[in-house]
Chain A
Amino acid sequence: MSILVNLDIMLAKRNMKSNELADIVGITTANLSILKTGKAKAIRFSTLEAICKALDCQPADILEYVED
């Protein structure tokens, strides 16, 4: 898939663990793992908003377009 999810990088920058983010955002760790591994087919604006709020970042910091 040509959209990369750089959630790991942002989590490392903010020194936050996956389960902490999952708790703040209100999703399961399993779903967060799906998102981190790039298996997710789509992401809701509400989830993206919550992640950006929790990590204090912009959507572009999490999502990146890479040409195939």
Chain B
Amino acid sequence: MAKNFIFKTLIDILFIFQGFGIFGAFVLAPFGIAKINQVNLADNKWPTHFWILLLLGIIAYIMFMIGIYHLRKVGRYLLSKRYFTVEIISNLKRSGVFLIFSGVLGLMGFIINWILRLEANYNAIYGTEIALPFFIGIVGLFFVIQSEALLFAKNFKEENDLTI
């Protein structure tokens, strides 16, 4: 129970802090306090690749946040100790799928950045570390596998409950 509570709390903290971060970025960016452009190129001089990378990064981040949102839902059901329910299984699967998407998009961003570096000697933007999208993708895949394992367990439990 304590573990479930800690899990839910950590996920909530992560989610809320990310929310603060997004809000802060929107509020501070117009004043130039938070520097978003790390390429040392004016926005209007950005090549298409940079915009694609930025777009990929934003979509990957949104996917990650949706994944975390579904994980919060899982945490909520874990607190009520209903492990073998459709809600936990479906939300865990959705979380996994979104994390996989996020990881794949992050990897695509890395590859585009890598090609840019090779071809044009551009070293584009932030968030191009390869280990993180890999890890997010692996965790997402594990969640999907875990949801399938839980589905099996749910069926076994139902069968066991109906064994007289």
A, B in one complex: yes
**Which of the four size classes fits the interface of chain B?**
under 10
Q: What bracket does the count of chain A residues touching chain B fall in?
A: 10 to 19
A43 vs B163: C-alpha distance when bound (angstroms): 5
Q: Which residues of B contact A35 (CB under 8 A)?
A: 164
Give Cα A44 to B162, complex, Å. Answer: 11
Q: How far is the CA of A27 from the CA of B164 in the complex (A)?
A: 8
What 1/0 flags go to B142-164 for Cβ under 8 Å of A?
00000000000000001100111
A47 sits at the interface (CB 8 A): yes
Distance to closest chain A CB from B163 (angstroms): 4
8 Å CB contact of B162 from A32, A40, A47: A40
Q: Does A53 contact B (CB under 8 A)?
A: no
A14 within 8 A of B: no
Closest to A35 in B: B164
Q: Which residues of B contact A31 (CB under 8 A)?
A: 164
User: In the complex, what residues of A have CB within 8 A of residue B159's CB?
Assistant: 41-42
Q: Bound complex: CA of A31 vs CA of B163, how far in Å?
A: 9
User: How far is the CB of B161 from the nearest CB of chain A, in Å?
Assistant: 8
Determine the distance from Cα of A29 to Cα of B159 in the docked complex, in whole angstroms.
19
Nearest B residue to A28, CB-CB: B164
Chain A interface (Cβ < 8 Å from any Cβ of B): 27, 31-32, 34-35, 39-44, 47
Query: Which residues does B use to contact A, with CB under 8 Å?
Result: 158-159, 162-164
Q: A41-B162, A41-B163 are in contact. List 8 more A-B contacts (CB 8 A).
A: A27-B164, A39-B162, A40-B163, A40-B164, A41-B159, A43-B164, A44-B163, A44-B164
